[in-house]
Structure 1
Amino acid sequence: MGLGGVMDEEFQRYLQSVRAHRAELADSVAAVDAALARPLAHDAWSERVHTAMVELAHDWRDHRSLTEGERGLYADVRRSAPHLAGSADRLLAEHAEVSGQLRSVIEQLEGSEPVCDVASFREEVTDLMGRLVRHRQRGSDLVYAAYSWDIGGSD
C-alpha cells in the first residue's frame, strides 16, 4: 500500500475512500446527536435514536473493515511508519470496545422493556459519540503523521 511512506496511486485512491467513509461516519454521529437532542418526552425519541444508532453501527463496521486486517490502514502504518505503531494499536484496541458499546446501546433500545433511566441513557450515548469524535481525530492525526495526507472527513 503505502510502500514505506511513498504513496502510489492505488494507495491514494484507498485514502480517498477512507476520507469519503470518514464523512459518512461523521454524518452518522451527527444523526445520533440530533436524535439525542430531541425532547425525552417525545413519543418517537427512542425510535429515532435507535434508527440513527443502527446506521452508525453499520458505518462503524465499514470503518473497521477499512482500517483493520493485513491490508488495512493500521497495518500499513505499522509497515510504513513503525514509530507510529503504538498509536495505530491504540486506535485498533478502541474498535472492539466501541463495537461493544454500540451493540449494548442498540440492545437496550431493542429490549422488550423500555430504557428505565432515559436521561442517564442519553448521557451514556452522548459520551459514546464524544469518544467516536475523538477516535476520528486521532485517526486523522495518525494518517497525517504517517503520510502527510489530510483525510479530513467533511469534504
Structure 2
Amino acid sequence: MEPRTEMPAEIDELDAVRVRRAELRESLNFLERCLAAPASGRAVVWGEAVHDALRTLATDFGAHIEVTEGPDGLHQAILTRDLRLANAVTGLTNEHAGMAAEIDTLVADSEPPVAEQDVDELRERATRLLGHLVRHRQTGADLVYEAFHTDVGGVD
C-alpha cells in the first residue's frame, strides 16, 4: 500500500478543530477550578486567578471563532459539503458574538482587585457562561458529526 501524499482539506480542518476544542476545554476547566476555589477572606487572590482564567478563555474563544468562521474555516467546509446544515451553522455563528461579549464583560468586571462583596455575583455569572460554552461545544460537535460523520472529541 502506497503512502498518501495528500490529505483531504476537510481532514486538516477537522484536526485544527480538534486542537482548538482541546484548548477551549482546558480553558473551561481552568476557569471552573478558579471559580470553585475558596474566596472567603481571599477575594483579591481569588479574583486574580479568575481574571487570569477569563483572559485565557477569551484568547482561546477568539481562536475558536477564527477556526470556525474564517474564510477557510470549519463552517465554510460544512456548507460546502452539505448546504442543508446552513441554519445550524448560522445558529452557532450567531452565538459567538453574544458569548464573546459575555466573556469580555467578565474579563473587565474581574479586573483586580475583586472586592469580597463582588465574588458571589462574579462567580454566578462566570458559572452561567461555562454552561453556555458547554452547550455550544455540544451543538458544534453534533453539527460536525452530522456533516462529516466523525467525532471531534466530545470526551476531551
TM range (shorter): 0.7 to 0.9
Match of 2:4 in 1: none
Q: Could you say what the CA RMSD is over the residues aligned between the two structures, in angstroms?
A: 1.8
Q: Secondary structure at the match of 2:152?
A: coil
How has the CA–CA distance of structure 1 residues 35 and 82 changed in structure 2, closer, same or farther, with 3 Å as cutoff? same
Structure 2 alignment gaps of length 5 or more: 1-6
Q: Do residues 89 (structure 1) and 126 (structure 2) align?
A: no
Matches within 5 A, 1:101-140: 101-110=102-111, 114=115, 116-140=117-141
Deviation >2 Å, runs of 4+: 111-117
Residue correspondences, number: 148
Question: 1:140 Cα deviation (Å)?
Answer: 0.4
Question: 1:11 Cα deviation (Å)?
Answer: 1.9
1:108–1:115 Cα contact (<8 Å) kept? no
- What whole-Å deviation, never above 9, does each CA across 1:40-80 have from its counterpart, x for those lacking one? 22241000001111111100010011000331111222221
Structure 1 alignment gaps of length 5 or more: 1-7
TM-score (norm 2): 0.87
- What whole-Å deviation, never above 9, does each CA across 1:1-46 have from its counterpart, x for those lacking one? xxxxxxx523202201211110110010000000000112224100
Write the distance in 2 (CA, Å) between the matches of 1:57 and 1:115.
Answer: 24
TM-score (norm 1): 0.88
Write the distance in 1 (CA, Å) between the matches of 2:129 and 2:120.
Answer: 14
Write the distance in 2 (CA, Å) between the matches of 1:12 and 1:115.
Answer: 48
Letter in 1 for 2:129: L
Question: 1:149 Cα deviation (Å)?
Answer: 1.2
Q: Do residues 52 (structure 1) and 74 (structure 2) align?
A: no
Match of 1:62 in 2: 63
Larger Rg: 2
Letter in 2 for 1:64: I
State, as a whole percentage, how many aligned pairs show the same letter: 37
